[in-house]
Amino acid sequence: MNEQASPLSPAQLKALEQIFPGEDLLTHPADTLAYSYDNSQRQSLPAAVVFARDEEQVQTLLALCNDWQLPLACRGKGTGTAGASIPPAGGLALSLERMNRILEIDPDNRLARVQPGVTNRQLQQAVARHGFFWPPDPTSAAVCTIGGNLACNAAGPRAVKYGTCRENTLGLHAVSASGQLLRTGVRTTKGVVGYDLTRLIIGSEGTLAVITEATLKLSPLPQARRTLQALYRDVGSAATAVSAIMARPITPSALEFMDARALAMVKDHADPGIAPDAGALLMIELEESEAAIDDAAAQVAATADIPGCLGVETATSQEQVQTLWRTRKALSPALRNVAPKKINEDVVVPVSRIPELIGGLEALARRHGITIVNFGHAGNGNIHVNLLIDPDDPVQMKAADACLGQVFDLVLGLGGTLSGEHGIGLVKRDFVSREIDDPTLSLMQQLKAVFDPRGILNPGKTLP
């Protein structure tokens, strides 16, 4: 710990030093700065950063913070894009990245028990040695933590077939604001005793309790995988193909979408060899048994070949798989080069309404004079809407604010929701009341008060 004037009292600092000795407590602004922001580009400097290594430390800390009425926010690796892990100014940042042990892998019962600081990749590598995987696979899987995945209910492409964190978590250990240890859920795939607090805490962004352990439901690794790429003359044809594919009995493990502007940016960044007249692209991945995979791929290819389709290509080797995915993987760096401070929203609509969503977004782009790039997990209607703007241009920022509000109105009008996997945090908090009515919001606020009566857990997040 470095000596530095702190908003914490000497008694508070002494108590924290006893719980988090040595390098597990940071108070100098030069040290705490790295824990003041996340991938949302929001920032707030905490009075201190503490690194928990076990459950008992978290219990002791929360009991003290509750007594002191000192607010805190917990975090993993800070990969979230909604500002959920931004610490309260003058409060604490509780990092769980050093609680990083895999406690148990039980192949017979298809489960694993882990601490929250285990990264998604570490878990996947460990359970793969037993023939299993955990389905949630966010884009940041190499570095994001299981605790962060659970806090935001982050998912990724495979959610279309296997579900999100909520469908793949059996139980939790979580610490309430008063320091009480809560044990939720079961170790079995069926269980109906009591209220489902596991699913309530997952996705609550650390506003109800701090997750300290998770019992995860594992799935067997697929025997065979096929990757297909379908090109379309326009966005409407591709969106119609998504609905057709999802109406069939074979569910893809991934169904990714890119619109014409996304393809144009990829071509400018690193030409992947896409046909010049392509107006949209679908990446389709199938996971089936060895006996079923060839027939499944043929059926999906036939379904994707609707009017407006320029061609469907199926990879027959790992080299071809990498070639087909090259376009999708080149999109993120292309966007970072063109618009490093873009507005990125992860809205969701019913799959059958995707054509209307894309059409509506194109109309909004023309109306406000803003470039909008759309891509994402089309298999469950989770489209990432990117508004490319110059944050130093006040006229463009004003147009973007108006456009964003109308994007959300469009999504809600189509029966959709404002966020599919990024969460709410600070970024979308003020829009929540557009989706959730007053009686329901009131009940949520009452639940928050039961779990956290003094409002110390991640204040100002999730609820308006």
* Average pLDDT of the residues of the chain: 93
Best CA proximity match to 346, nearest among 285, 283, 268, 425: 425
The region of weakest confidence among 61-70, 92-101, 334-343, 375-384 is 334-343
More confident position, 14 or 395: 14
Q: Residues 247, 305: one domain?
A: yes
Q: Residues 241, 299: one domain?
A: yes
Highest mean pLDDT among 164-178, 233-247, 392-406: 164-178
Tens of pLDDT, residue by residue over 107-152, are 999 999 999 999 999 999 999 999 999 999 998 999 999 999 999 9
Q: How far is CA 18 from CA 31, 269, 347, in A?
A: 19, 52, 45
Domain count, the chain: 3
pLDDT for 45 equals: 96
Q: Residues 209, 108: one domain?
A: yes
Q: Residues 74, 23: one domain?
A: yes
Residue 109 lies in a domain: yes
By residue range, what is the domain housing residue 54?
10-95
Q: Residues 143, 114: one domain?
A: yes
CB-neighbour burial class of residue 69 (10 A; exposed 0-12, middle 13-18, buried 19+): exposed
How far is the C-alpha of 293 from the C-alpha of 84, rounded, in Å?
A: 40
Q: Which of 49, 74, 95 is the last residue of a domain?
A: 95
Residue 36 lies in a domain: yes
Q: Residues 149, 187: one domain?
A: yes
Q: How confident is the model at residue 335 (pLDDT cuts 50, 70, 90)?
A: confident
pLDDT for 299 equals: 97
Give the β-pairing of 48-51 and 72-75. unpaired
What is the pTM for the complete model shown? 0.93
| pLDDT at position 5 over 60 | no
Q: How far is CA 273 from CA 120, 327, 332, in A?
A: 32, 9, 17
H/E stretch holding 113 reads strand 111-114
Question: What mean pLDDT comes out for the span 391-414?
Answer: 93
| pLDDT at position 3 over 60 | no
Q: Residues 315, 226: one domain?
A: yes
Question: What mean pLDDT comes out for the span 296-308?
Answer: 97
Question: What mean pLDDT comes out for the span 448-453?
Answer: 97
How far is the C-alpha of 283 from the C-alpha of 318, rounded, in Å?
A: 15
pLDDT for 6 equals: 62
Question: What mean pLDDT comes out for the span 195-207?
Answer: 98
Residue 193 lies in a domain: yes
What CATH number does the domain containing 260 carry? 3.30.70.2190
pLDDT for 340 equals: 61
pLDDT for 330 equals: 79
| pLDDT at position 409 over 80 | yes
Q: How confident is the model at residue 415 (pLDDT cuts 50, 70, 90)?
A: very high
